[in-house]
A and B are shown apart, each in its own frame.
Chain A
Amino acid sequence: MKLNSLIIDDDASFRVFLKQLIEKHESLALAGIAENGKQAIELLREKSIDLMFLDVQMPDMSGFEVLDEVKNFDPTQVIITSGSSAHGTKAFDYGITDYLVKPFTEERFEEAVARVKSNTRGTQYTTTLINQVLGKVLFYIHTRDIQDYRPLPLRDAKLGYIYPMLTANLDFGREEKGLDILEMAEQEGFLTSSFIDSFYTCNNCYNSYLFFRETCPKCQSADIESEEQIHHFPCAYVGPVSDFQRSSDPTALECPKCKRTLKHIGVDYDKPSIIFTCNRCDHTFQDPLVKAKCNVCNSDIQVENLLKKNLKAYQLTSLGRDAALGKVIIDLDENEEMEDIINKETFHKLLSKEIERKKEALFESTIASINLENISEIYDSIGNQNSSKLVKEIFELVNNEINRSDEVVFQSMVTIWLLLTEKGVEKATTDIQRIEKRIKELVDDNYDNFSLSLSNTVKPVVTNKTASEHLQELNEVLLERS
């Protein structure tokens, strides 16, 4: 996927120079050129821009003023191009990725672009990008006058299907995102849908290229054999078909018990069941475990844990038509709920405040961590999406258990941090134990044959240490234990 780039500069010769560099670059696409700040702001509102080459000194306004005007634009997608290095500090304050002092070499340019690209990869797909791709899709549906925007089966696609225009705009690694984009667009009212089919994907890497096979429930080997059982009515003998086959005449069936020849199924015998045997561990069973092996990431998944996706055909609504024509702004907000849950920074800030507060007044506060020691086993078996759901559930549960003034975050998928205000270690410990009990109940009730083990650390908040030191201590205790 190429980055849509915008040039903003009042110097015409530099604009031409930069245009050439962009067109030559394999991961950049030129989306527009602005001669001044006003034009730039217009273009930024109209188009979806991934990268901005911004001049600082322009006749109508400065580059920073442009950034102030378009508040939503991510400053990490900006490269400043300026004749002077004087604005370096200011650019740094804005969080701008790179600063090119004219004139610069092609190598230096490449380096700056690479920095932006690595930023983009880090934040994955930004809201802007999703909106942009959707814009393209809506436009495509509208201009081609497609009544039913249907997926096409394609063996090489990650999901086994592509949506024209949509899938091609996504990396192979993120093709499954296309379904989410369409889903969001439907919720937003741009599209309506009708069900076509459903399919399953790997719960780890979202590929739908899966190998299904029956496996031994004991040793998970796929090296198993099945045989039909015969029940011979007259003598009540029951055994696999091979018991009834004689080497002299393989087609005839003869009862090993009463030596009669079997005549007719349903009259003197029937086949009441099928029995499997495992060639590896010699286990006998009737209900093989059906597992799906992902061709890409090699995960071997129980079919119950595969992700089910619905495949739909989409129709453009009048709102969608307006969006395609640019009359309505496409502004999908991909809710990254996990950000609220796994958020060390906020916790760090709150803890700092608490330490400050404690300096002013006399009260006790406590921080604690709860470690979900073996929960990774569950994460491994249920896949990313369901793991996130589980984390959310635990998060909500803990949130309900604590006071409003307390704070909880996940430090990682396995460790929970808590800040318990105006509570001493002793009282906090009983609270933590209660919370642990609730978490264990939740997890154990939902996952058979699993018993969650937890451990906790409780420490008082003290004024002579910084927030970082406090948190480091929590982690150290954890590390020592493991």
Chain B
Amino acid sequence: MINFFEFWNQQGIDGFIRIYWFYFLFEFPRYIILDFVFLLIFKLNNHFNKEGYEAAKENLWKECPLITIIIPGKDEGSNYHSLIQSLKEQTYQNYQLIIVDDGSEDDSDIIGRQMQKEGMIDLFLKNDERGGKASASNLGLRYARGKYVIHLDADTSFYRNAIEEVLIPFYQTENVGAVGGTLEVKNSDASLATRFQSIEYLMIFTTGRLVASSLNILRIISGAFGAFRTDILKELGGWDVGPGMDGDITLKIRKIGYKVEYTPSAVCLTNVPPSFRELANQRTRWSRSLVRFRLRKHRDFLFPSSQFRLLDFMAIMDNVFYNFILNFLWWFYILEIVINFTPHMLNIFLGGFILYTISKFIEFGVVPILSSNKSDKIGLLPYIPGMTFYTGFYIRLVRTYAYIRELFFYDSYKDDWNPDKTSKAAREVEDQIDSVFNNP
């Protein structure tokens, strides 16, 4: 211990910053300063814009448009009842409910058909041949009659005003094409993995997306809970082959000139993978899509072209830089520290742990400010120190592995998340984009 204090006394402030340059250069400005600045802006905005919000709410109720809720999924029959129950509790009730069963192998279709008969589902569609999530969503879209489409996962449930809240931004700002809701973790108490994810969802998704939305660089609307203008979706022909179809459709909506908003007031709860192994699989899939969609399919965003817009560029750059480039730079940083400070590793590790823990606590501080349900967030506090290892090492490791696999082996096209037929066809199409791009 004496050793520890002596070491840091010697280093001084300069040395501290020198050693944790990665944190002070990249992470502190992005996750602490930027977050709090924009939180302030958001709060002030809300404060002065309260009338705007109230007016938007009034307009929504005045028009009270029919909306369509699309729920695609495979083997989700067991979730239908609780899902519909959750929807019945909603303050907004003028909806057409379409559930698309993508080639389920269990009794989902029997359950769905029965519920349609009983009038609990407006339209239950089953594809006998599995076509992948995008095709299931598109089938639902084809028969959607509502003015807005709300895309949900079957295993989610909602705060009572979630649907109402997710629609309000359409009436608050002009030219909004899509609105993302907030995802929180339903099974938070299930395991250590779900607790970490619970904190992660609160910090990264809630705060991160709020900041991105304020900056107009929101690049993803979660497929588990997003609202879209039906006419725009139909114009785009719906979703493209996934994985990563959420991010893809968001980018396409941006590309044709519509705004994409995020609202922290519309909250849905979703189940997350309960074990680290399953979590690794899920994150691998997410990370692959970064390479596939940002760096391959939509790389036109990154280069000056007729469609180039600064905000889009920033949206992508933020994503690519912080998730992709920094991910690799991190390993370089560790290497640099290990080489230059070999004898002091223990002290540096301990210091880093303290630094990141304090930083995470500060970051987490914004959560109660934004969240409507504050008390149950307190229970997560003891787990925050563990987040250093969770985001610092576990998530980074998974990501790095996924990026490398995708860059060199095109793993996402082999993922059984999609049937082979669609993956194969999608790859052919996306390869063509590549060649068009390379030979103008």
Contact = CB atoms under 8 A, between A and B. Distances in A.
B143 A236 contact: no
Given A236-B134, A236-B138, A231 B129 contact: yes
Given A231-B127, A256-B237, A449 B138 contact: no
A217 B113 CA distance: 11
A270 B425 CA distance: 12
Contacts of A239: 138-139, 142
A243 B125 CA distance: 18
A257 B239 CA distance: 10
Contact of A231 (B118, B131, B143): B131
A211 interface: no
A226 B62 CA distance: 37
Nearest to A233: B425
Nearest to A239: B142
B208 interface: no
A231 B117 CA distance: 26
A237 B135 CA distance: 6
Nearest to A218: B119
Interface in A274-314: 275, 284-287
Given A233-B422, A233-B425, A238 B138 contact: yes
A284 B422 contact: no
Contact of A286 (B124, B129, B134): B124
B426 A258 contact: no
Contacts of B130: 272
A238 B135 CA distance: 6
A257 B238 contact: yes
B240 A236 contact: yes
A217 B128 CA distance: 20
B127 A273 contact: yes
Contacts of A257: 236-238
B429 A270 contact: no
A268 B423 CA distance: 11
Contacts of B236: 257
Given A229-B139, A231-B135, A272-B103, A236 B126 contact: no
B132 interface: yes
A233 B238 CA distance: 13
A59 interface: no
A235 B241 contact: yes
Given A234-B429, A236-B134, A275 B422 contact: no
B411 to A, nearest CB: 19
Interface residues of A, number: 28
Interface in A436-480: 448-449
A235 B134 CA distance: 9
Contacts of B237: 235, 237, 256-258
Interface in B184-241: 236-241
A123 to B, nearest CB: 43
Contacts of A235: 237, 240-241, 429
Interface centre among A217, A239, A272, A287 (most CB of B within 10 A): A272
Indicate the member of A217, A236, A258, A284 with the most B CB atoms within 10 Å: A236
Contacts of B245: 236
Interface in B92-131: 103, 113, 116-118, 123-131
Interface string B149-186: 00000000000000000000000000000000000000
B126 A238 contact: no
A234 B428 CA distance: 8
A268 B126 CA distance: 20
Nearest to B421: A233
A459 B267 CA distance: 60
A240 B237 CA distance: 13
B425 A268 contact: yes
Contacts of A286: 113, 124-126
A233 B429 CA distance: 10
B101 to A, nearest CB: 10
Contacts of A231: 127, 129, 131, 135, 139
Contacts of B422: 233-234, 236
B241 to A, nearest CB: 5
Nearest to B98: A284
Interface string B37-77: 00000000000000000000000000000000000000000
Contacts of A237: 135, 138, 237-238
B135 to A, nearest CB: 5
Contacts of A284: 123, 143
Contact of A275 (B117, B134, B143, B428): B143
Given A286-B125, A286-B126, A449-B118, A238 B131 contact: yes
Nearest to A259: B237
A217 to B, nearest CB: 7
Contacts of B142: 238-240, 243
B240 A272 contact: no
B125 A275 contact: yes
Nearest to B423: A233
Contacts of B113: 286-287
Nearest to A270: B129
Nearest to B129: A272
Contacts of A275: 125, 143
Interface in B414-440: 421-422, 424-426, 428-429
B429 A236 contact: no
Interface in A201-254: 217, 229, 231, 233-240, 243
- Among B126, B241, B421: residue with most chain A CB under 10 A: B421
A272 B116 contact: no
B236 to A, nearest CB: 8
With a 10 A CB-CB cut-off, give which of A229, A284, A286 has the most chain B CB atoms.
Answer: A286
Interface in B380-395: none
Contacts of A234: 241, 422, 425-426, 428-429
B139 A238 contact: yes
B221 to A, nearest CB: 17
A50 B64 CA distance: 75
B137 to A, nearest CB: 8
Nearest to A274: B128
Contacts of B240: 235-236
Contacts of B426: 233-234, 236
A275 B123 CA distance: 11
A273 B124 CA distance: 12
B300 to A, nearest CB: 17
A42 B225 CA distance: 90
Contacts of A271: 129
B238 A273 contact: no
Interface string B11-40: 000000000000000000000000000000
A463 B91 CA distance: 63
A284 B139 CA distance: 12
A233 B245 CA distance: 14
Contacts of A240: 142
A285 B429 CA distance: 32
B202 to A, nearest CB: 32
B117 A236 contact: no
Contacts of B429: 234-235, 258
Contact of A236 (B118, B124, B132): B132
9 contacts: A233-B241, A233-B424, A235-B240, A235-B429, A237-B135, A237-B238, A270-B421, A273-B127, A273-B128
The 3 closest A-B pairs by CB, nearest first: A257-B237, A233-B425, A272-B127
Given A236-B239, A286-B125, 16 more contacts: A217-B116, A229-B139, A231-B135, A233-B241, A233-B422, A235-B237, A235-B241, A236-B134, A236-B241, A237-B238, A257-B238, A270-B129, A272-B128, A272-B135, A275-B143, A284-B143
